[in-house]
Amino acid sequence: MTDYPATARERIWQFGTSHRKMARTGGPVVFDTADGCHLVDSTGRRYIDALSGVWVVNAGHSHPDIVAAMTAQATRLGYALSEEGFANTAAVDLATRLTDAVDGVYDRVYFTTGGSESVEMALRMARLYHSARGKPGKRTVISRQGSYHGTTLFTLGLSSYDIFSRAVGPLPDGLAKVVHPTCADCPLGRSYPGCAVGCAQDLADTIERLGPDTVAAFVAEPVSTSAGVAVPPPEYWPAVREICSRYDVLLVADEVVTGIGRCGDVLATRRFGIEADIVALAKALTSGYAPLGAVLTHRDITTGMPANALLIPGFTFTGHPVACAAATANLDILCRPEVHDGVHRKSARLATALRDRLGGRPHVGGIRVFGLLAAVDLEPPPTVPGRRTPSAAELSQLMTGWLLESGLYTRVVEGCVQLGPPLLAPDDLMDAIADHLASAFDRLAEHLGRIR
């Protein structure tokens, strides 16, 4: 019988961790099957999937409609080149379905194979757009401190993971950063609502400092999971939209995590009442059944791009027909009012369950919920002179292990428990997730009490 964790250690590079750590913990966990809201590993252990893979499987695992659509498409047409003057019917059908889902506000699509590619291509298009309109000097891209946009060199440079950036640098130039709208721990040292939304003003100040004629785009997530589900104040996004319009800077919404119903609408930007110029999608576009991403352009950008503009070639697998068929079936499942209503209902239940079960427990910090995105902070123990205080990384590793032992799959990163169950999950799964977390925090308190 195959020892899958051991074989995986020998045969598969595990990025995001180290081989030594995997060997010490007996990992990686190797998943074998899945159904609905559950995963099963190679040893037969069953887990609640409280993160939808990694905010991916919005429709749940093994959905028969998606499986059937992919099977039929693979039989009909498995692959065809879909650029340089060619396309395929599955890609055309998906583009139509996707633009219809956003009411035609965004009316043209470029398909990628994942989130990093989507953000990369969105920003390439922003630079091309300005250049084609006679403003080739507008090249700089602004992002936010604490955000994450992908793993290409360009998108790594826009992100705030310095350990990765230093390892693979040098990074491209023409990048700048502004503060993140994190009211609970304001980087400007201010307090909402008396702050005049200084986080948005920082964008305007930065554009002025760099020179408006040099800035191509501002890219940001509507709600940032890498910043611990940091929900901006209601004035933030309208202010950002106005600033970008004022300076002719394209607003690029990174909806790789937040899109396709995760926040209770097709796009999370719609919940904040604004329209971006370009939107990057991936992850839940197919609910993870096949790799696929998309770049949506606002109709004003589409009409503003000169008809003779030559777009640089993209990817071999752009518009892959089987992936597009999966996405069309997935949108038919998720882009229904009752699904979005269910997200709002389950969001409220998850928030209540987390606060009822975790509130007042030792080492529980902030709790944030937006749609079916949630985060719970680990509150580290106080520093005691002469005693070593466990780091956030150590506490995160302990919590991850205890949650997996109890049958809950999720991630604990830099002292923050990340949550995002499938959108079609039963309502009572929200209570079960909170119960698992409560048990893990009790174990954490007991563990820390022993080592003091």
366 & 407 share domain: yes
Predicted pLDDT at 450: 73
How far the first Cα of the chain sits from its last, in Å, is 43
CATH number of the CATH domain containing 128: 3.40.640.10
User: Which among 318, 334, 350 is the end of a domain?
Assistant: 334
Residue 175 and residue 45 share a domain: no
Q: What is the pLDDT of residue 451?
A: 61
For residues 404 and 378, state if they share a domain. yes
Q: In this predicted structure, what is the pLDDT of residue 160?
A: 73
Q: What is the pLDDT, as a whole number, of residue 92?
A: 98
Q: 262 and 122 share a domain?
A: yes
* Torsion sign across C-alpha atoms 267, 150, 330, 90: positive
pLDDT of residue 21: 82
Share above pLDDT 70 across residues of the chain, in percent, rounded to a whole number? 98
Of residues 426, 326, 374, the one with CA closest to residue 62: 326
Residues 385-416 have pLDDT tens digits of 777 788 888 899 999 999 999 999 999 998 99
Per-residue pLDDT, 388:
78
Task: Give the model confidence (pLDDT) of 348-387 as tens digits.
Answer: 999 999 999 999 999 999 999 999 999 999 998 888 777 7
The single-letter code of the amino acid at 194 is G
> In the chain, how many domains are there?
2
Task: State pLDDT tens for residues 185-235.
Answer: 889 989 999 898 999 999 999 999 999 999 999 999 999 999 899 999 999
Query: Domain check: are 29 and 165 in the same one?
Result: no
pLDDT at residue 23 in the model: 82
State whether 106 and 172 are in the same domain. Answer: yes
By DSSP bridging, strand 38-41 and strand 250-254 are unpaired
pLDDT band at 331 (very low <50, low <70, confident <90, very high): very high
- Do 73 and 54 share a structural domain? no
Last residue of a domain, one of 288, 309, 334: 334
> Which pLDDT score is estimated for 392?
85
Question: Do 243 and 366 reside in the same domain of the chain?
Answer: no
Residue 165: per-residue pLDDT:
62
Are 252 and 341 part of one and the same domain?
no
The answer to whether 243 touches 204, Cβ cutoff 8 Å, is yes
What's the confidence (pLDDT) of residue 132?
Answer: 92
| pLDDT higher than 70, residue 452 | no
The pLDDT score that the predictor gives to residue 87 is 96
Using pLDDT thresholds of 50, 70 and 90, give the confidence band for residue 428: very high
pLDDT bin (cut points 50, 70, 90) of residue 261 is very high
Q: What is the pLDDT of residues 287-324, one digit of tens each?
A: 999 999 999 999 999 999 988 877 777 789 999 999 99
Phi, psi (degrees; rounded to nearest 5) at 157: -65, -25
In the predicted structure, residue 106 carries a pLDDT above the cut 70: yes
Write out the chain in H/E/C secondary structure.
Answer: CCCHHHHHHHHCCCCCCCHHHHHHHCCCCCEEEEEECEEEECCCCEEEECCHHHHCCCCCECCHHHHHHHHHHHHHCCCCCCCCCCCCHHHHHHHHHHHHHCCCCEEEEEEECCHHHHHHHHHHHHHHHHHHCCCCCCCEEEEECCCCCCCCHHHHHHCCCHHHHHHHCCCCCCEEEECCCCHHHCCCCCCCCCCCCHHHHHHHHHHHHHCHHHEEEEEECCCECCCCCECCCCCHHHHHHHHHHHCCCEEEEECCCCCCCCCCCCCHHHHHCCCCCEEEECHHHCCCCCCCEEEEEEHHHHHHCCCCCCCCCCCCCCCCHHHHHHHHHHHHHHCCHHHHHHHHHHHHHHHHHHHHHHCCCCCEEEEEEECCEEEEEECCCCCCCCCCCCCHHHHHHHHHHHHHHHCEECEEECCEEEECCCCCCCCCHHHHHHHHHHHHHHHHHHHHHHHC
Average pLDDT, the chain: 94
Give the per-residue pLDDT at 26. Answer: 85
What's the pLDDT at 164?
62
Mean predicted confidence (pLDDT) in 81-88? 93
Same structural domain, 388 and 320 = no
Structural domain including 411 reads 4-62+337-451
Give the domain-ending residue among 278, 308, 334: 334
Residues 354 and 316 in one domain: no
* Residue 162: pLDDT band with limits 50, 70, 90: low
Query: What was the pLDDT predicted at 384?
Result: 75
The answer to whether residues 146 and 83 belong to one domain is yes
Lowest mean pLDDT among 81-85, 272-276, 326-330: 81-85
Structure tokens at 187: 């980087």
Residue 94 has pLDDT above 70, yes or no: yes
3-class SS letters over 254-277: ECCCCCCCCCCCCCHHHHHCCCCC
User: How much is the average pLDDT of 58-67?
Assistant: 98
Q: What's the CATH code of the domain at 410? A: 3.90.1150.10
